Amino acid sequence: MDSDDLERETSECEQAGNSTKLDLLRLQLKIIRFFGVFPPEEGTWKHSLFVTISTVYISLYFPQMYAMVAAAYEYWGNIDMVTKILFQITTAVEAGILTSYFIVRRKKLALLFDMMETNFIPHIEKVVTPENKRRIIKEASKRSVTITYILMFIFSSVILGWICLPLIRKYNDAPAQADIQVMSENAWNYYCYILWLPKEMVSGPFMYEIIYLCQVLTIYVVVGHYTGCNVILFFFMFHISTHLKLLASSFEDMRKVYEMESGENEEKTHTQTGFRIFMSPTIYNYFMYDSGPIVPNFGENAAHVEGDKPRFLNAKKNPENIRLLQPRSNGDMMTQSETSERQNVDISTQTASIEEKMNLHFINCIKYHQEILAYCKLVEDFLSPVFLVYFVISESMMCMAVFQVVMGDDEGLIKSVVSVGNVCTWPLMICLCGDYITTQSLELKKAAYGCGWYNRSKQFKQNLRMFILRAQEPVRFTAGKFYTVSLETFADIINTVYAYFTILKRMQES
């Protein structure tokens, strides 16, 4: 018995845990912790280790930035080399700023993650059917896992292009060692990226291997931080759209569930009304309401039915199908008006019950919507400065990467191609998700309008009117309050990148 009780308590705890957490971010939290952007729970050895490693990682940015800025100064005037170095600098600057922001404000970030997983559950349980909840969350989880694997493939491609290919090229090219010794421009084809180094440092034994290992570490830190920050930005917005889907489904559920109940009551009412056509009010009353022994009792009391002649039932011919009449306690039969009044009371009670349920369901939907809007406001305040830095620096990154693909040499083509794929995919995905959230928030008014309001009470219609007025203002995320996160913004970024690219191309041609 003790072991059975223990197993039962364990299963109950697991069920309680599942019911108090949506578990939407499990895979994404593992990734951003692996990249050192989001810490584990405080008070554990993992958290202390995270703080130590993050400090070391952030400290690597300073000597790296100094060496790259010095290299840009050394090669100033060579547009091909300078654009390569500027791409490295802008990538490191963006990754360093975003990572530092999330690490410094990690408590706020952890709170927002926890709110996404737990705060909406009471509202979901009230307004969303278990079938729709399981279906929508399952679809969102599958889609998020697929997107995560695709983006991790892009991360792996960047690591392969920037770390592995230079080393392979170095051991396959015969003149590589000579170029490395004199530090010519071709020597950087055998390193991960370009930076300034003293010539005395390069000429020593095993210095190439040592420098290469240091570059491998810094490349992993920068690309890992960049990927982790993008995961945070994207999946915040992705799972907000999941909650908007759940809310839209609650309006559909309301129409299906309560119209079904209303339809059953109407069908019952029509059946009763049709049944009355062929029977006198007195007989109909006893058929529908009274239950007594099968004893015929017609006589003077039957004459009290106004507008109807006494009708005698042949109980011998139909002893099983006919329920015979019983007199009321005072000896009188129920009149037609009394019968109708009794029916109307029952029907109105059923209708009132459905109206109360629908009003309560709709009010809960409004509360769920208000909770989503409040959460979006918190996320907007937290991410708005991040989006501003992100999009401004991404313009420069995209311009430099595209310039290297079009105008650069063949040696670094693969590196440039994977760089373009990385720096263009993330802003596009984030802008797509921001645009999708705006569309989903506007679709709520259509979903609410289709809930069958025309047969409902005045209070229900008033609540619906107010909800539609509020839902006309879409949910939007902004970058520093200057522009919205949407496909229109991404199109503006592409236009700006093209303008910068044209300027660089003319500078190189001249």
Instruction: Say how far apart CA 248 and CA 246 lie, in whole Å.
Output: 5
State the pLDDT confidence band at 352, using cuts at 50, 70 and 90.
low
pLDDT tens for each residue of 239-297: 899 899 998 888 877 766 666 555 544 444 444 444 333 334 443 343 334 444 434 44
Question: How much of the chain exceeds pLDDT 70, in percent?
Answer: 72
Query: Looking at 118-127, 182-191, 356-365, which range is the least confident one?
Result: 182-191
Question: How much of the chain exceeds pLDDT 90, in percent?
Answer: 12
DSSP three-state, residue 60: coil
pLDDT score for 4: 47
Count of beta carbons in the 10 Å neighbourhood of residue 327: 16
pLDDT score for 268: 43
CA-closest candidate to residue 419, choices 438, 403, 441, 439: 403
pLDDT score for 15: 43
Tokens 């009290």 sit at which residue? 304
Instruction: Say how far apart CA 291 and CA 450 lie, in whole Å.
Output: 43
Given a cut of 50, whether residue 313 has pLDDT beyond it is no
Q: Is the pTM of this model over 0.85?
A: no
pLDDT score for 479: 87
Q: What are the distances in angstroms from CA 354 to CA 347, 360, 380, 453?
A: 11, 10, 39, 13
CA dihedral for 431, 436, 438, 439, sign (positive or negative): positive
Count of beta carbons in the 10 Å neighbourhood of residue 149: 10
State the pLDDT confidence band at 312, using cuts at 50, 70 and 90.
very low
Given a cut of 50, whether residue 32 has pLDDT beyond it is yes
pLDDT score for 505: 84
